[in-house]
Structure 1
Amino acid sequence: MTMVVSMCRSFRDRALDRCFHCFPCLADPARRSSLCLKVALVTLHLLYVGILFLFYSDLIEKTKKEPWYTALYLLLFFATLVQYFITSGSSPGYVLDAMRALNDTNLAYKKSSVASKQPASSKNGSLVISVEGSQSGRNFQGSNTTSWSKLVMDMYPPGTSIRTCTCSYCNVEQPPRAKHCHDCDRCVLQFDHHCVWLGTCIGQGNHCKFWWYICEETALCLWTGILYITYLKANISRAWWKDAIMILLLIALSISIIFLLLLLIFHSYLVLTNQTTYELVRRRRIPYLRNLKKSRGHTLA
């Protein structure tokens, strides 16, 4: 019996090794979990829409007479899924990437200044962070680190020590509103939260995309719920097993709609007041917010 168990384990380990070799993304438990959640979410969307078109024969007839109605619904359906994958694949804006972008900009400016034989002049501007990847902050402690340190320290009140704004995990200076995410193991600019369903952080680089996704998802769920209720009103006594399936799905959909509506309202409030979820929840533990008056707490720079 022990020999059979050991053989089964050996066969399972070899099968998993081959699977991980063919699909490297499955070797990482975090990425494997994120991939499973994405597959589950897409499957749920297809299940709700598939059962609707399978059971609701009147909708098929309505599609023949008014094809624009179904076309708009399917367009919203596909747009929601596309927005989901765009948001999940986007960068939230990492501190290391901002540091790299600033250092590259300074290096390019110095080269152009030397080439043109003109004196260098400092110029403030905005950084667009779109670089993906994870590297240790210790790789960036080179000659251009002082420019990043000066930029970060200028954002803090006078007298702030460098140790106060240095991340103990990445060993890099964090600008205000940045935070280290333990799930991504990187510091995120304007950190909001780590979304499990998306498998990524929500921050400066993708908060807008996240808002549009939950807006589209809420609209899709509301429209789907209306179609389910319309079906039950017209076909409540034809087939009990179909009604039971539709009612169970409608109950789960109603819970999702309530959650999505609250989430949409909450993040709309955060956008209008220029806050993040982390700042709102941990206000008293954040050094640069601790001494602010309550009346000024909703207008962060």
Structure 2
Amino acid sequence: MTTTPTTSSCCSPLKDLCDGLSERCSRLVPCCLADPARRSSLGLKAALLLLHLVFAGAVFLLDSDLIHSAPTWLNATYLLLFVLTLVQYFYTSGSSPGFVIDAMSAENGTHATYLNMSRASIQSASKNGNITSSANGNQLGRNNRMNSSSWLKLVMDLYPPGSSSRNWTCAYCNIVQPPRSKHCHDCDKCVLQFDHHCVWLGTCIGKGNHCRFWWYIFEETILCTWTGIFYITFLRSRVLKSWLNVFIAALLLTALVFCFIFLILLLLFHSYLVLTNQTTYELVRRRRISYLRGVPERVRPFSRGICRNLYYFCCSKESTYNLEAVPTSEELEARARPYTCIDIISCRCC
């Protein structure tokens, strides 16, 4: 009795061949869409890029004479602003906010070199026997503990005397946080000078990219205002327009008005934070931060003055991993002192 091969048995060699090819391709060219988090981030960036193209391109499609009526330098400037805004968006979204774990590595100085030397010593020691390998392993453990203790000592000097190290240790990362740091649940890391996690950018805003974030909001606000002026010019023009074009332009202009209100409020809010050297987290959750509970509401503990705050925010070349200490009680009392005429003349606030 003979048996005929089934369809599944005939297709199995072809299926194995396809699986082998796909596995080989995935090894040669790793697909970034395999990670759900990265896939959602790319989808958000593509959606934001599409929105910019729709809002900026629709007005030129509705009014074909807009390009010819406006001066060439004006159209070139608008196009340059459009490109710079998108570049600033991708530049900010891909930047690091400054993580505590990176600050620990920077403070250790030769962290990467030390790890490479330790690995090399362990590999060479493993060739000589188990006794030497275990000795090098114990040395590596002692050096790691020494690095942890040096980081703890550094952070202790930044907090007021008598503070407990239990309040500084992150419950998720299990590392000691310097002042102004917070654990981000979206990034799953502790961020230096944590401000907030921006959903539109897909990254945290911290000490490393707060300045880039402010410039992105600034450019986006100007671009939104300029695009809205184009729509208003189109609606007020006496050129013969169909009701469909008028409806589309009015709808997009309404959306732009809401975007402008949101952007201008966000820009003013972050400008205030920059001038006073604060973060969104410190302003909103001030009572939940242990070293800020006893500070009066009108006192900005980390402010150096308006001019110096602007300098350190925009022009300073200090490292992202430079840590700020909590001001002493004497400094806080001096900042809480009411302003007098002499203070105003001497520009105490600057």
TM over 0.5, yes or no? yes
Matched, 1:97 2:118: no
The Cα RMSD (Å) is 2.6
1:106-255 to structure 2, matched below 5 A, reads: 141-235=144-238, 238-255=241-258
Identify the residue that residue 279 of structure 1 maps to in structure 2: 282
* Residues in 1 aligned to 2:111 and 2:86: alpha-carbon distance in whole angstroms: 39
Identify the residue that residue 25 of structure 1 maps to in structure 2: 32
User: Cα distance, 1:176 vs. partner?
Assistant: 0.4
* Residues in 2 aligned to 1:284 and 1:215: alpha-carbon distance in whole angstroms: 30
| Contact kept in structure 2, 1:190 and 1:276, CA below 8 Å | yes
Moved over 6 A (4+): 106-109
Seq. identity, %? 62
| Contact kept in structure 2, 1:34 and 1:196, CA below 8 Å | no
Identify the residue that residue 87 of structure 1 maps to in structure 2: 92
User: Cα distance, 1:49 vs. partner?
Assistant: 1.7
Identify the residue that residue 128 of structure 1 maps to in structure 2: none
What are structure 1's unaligned runs of at least 5 residues? 1-13, 110-137
User: Cα distance, 1:293 vs. partner?
Assistant: 1.6
User: Cα distance, 1:298 vs. partner?
Assistant: 6.0
- Report the AA paired with residue 85 of structure 1: F
* Residues in 1 aligned to 2:197 and 2:110: alpha-carbon distance in whole angstroms: 30
User: Cα distance, 1:53 vs. partner?
Assistant: 1.6
| Contact kept in structure 1, 2:286 and 2:293, CA below 8 Å | yes
* Residues in 2 aligned to 1:145 and 1:90: alpha-carbon distance in whole angstroms: 27
User: Cα distance, 1:26 vs. partner?
Assistant: 2.0
Q: 1:45 aligns with which of 44, 48, 52?
A: 52
* Residues in 2 aligned to 1:101 and 1:298: alpha-carbon distance in whole angstroms: 26
Which SS does the other structure have where 2:298 is aligned?
Answer: helix
* Residues in 2 aligned to 1:28 and 1:235: alpha-carbon distance in whole angstroms: 52
Identify the residue that residue 77 of structure 2 maps to in structure 1: 72
User: Cα distance, 1:107 vs. partner?
Assistant: 9.0
Which SS does the other structure have where 1:215 is aligned?
Answer: helix
* Residues in 1 aligned to 2:113 and 2:44: alpha-carbon distance in whole angstroms: 42
- Report the AA paired with residue 193 of structure 1: H
Which SS does the other structure have where 2:278 is aligned?
Answer: coil
Q: 2:66 aligns with which of 54, 59, 63?
A: 59
Equivalences, count: 256
* Residues in 1 aligned to 2:216 and 2:161: alpha-carbon distance in whole angstroms: 40
| Contact kept in structure 2, 1:167 and 1:180, CA below 8 Å | yes
User: Cα distance, 1:219 vs. partner?
Assistant: 0.3
What are structure 2's unaligned runs of at least 5 residues? 1-17, 115-140, 304-326, 328-350
| Contact kept in structure 2, 1:236 and 1:243, CA below 8 Å | no
* Residues in 2 aligned to 1:251 and 1:262: alpha-carbon distance in whole angstroms: 17
User: Cα distance, 1:142 vs. partner?
Assistant: 3.7
| Contact kept in structure 2, 1:165 and 1:173, CA below 8 Å | yes
String of CA shifts for 1:93-128, please: whole Å, max 9, x gaps.
Answer: 00000001111258989xxxxxxxxxxxxxxxxxxx
Larger Rg: 2
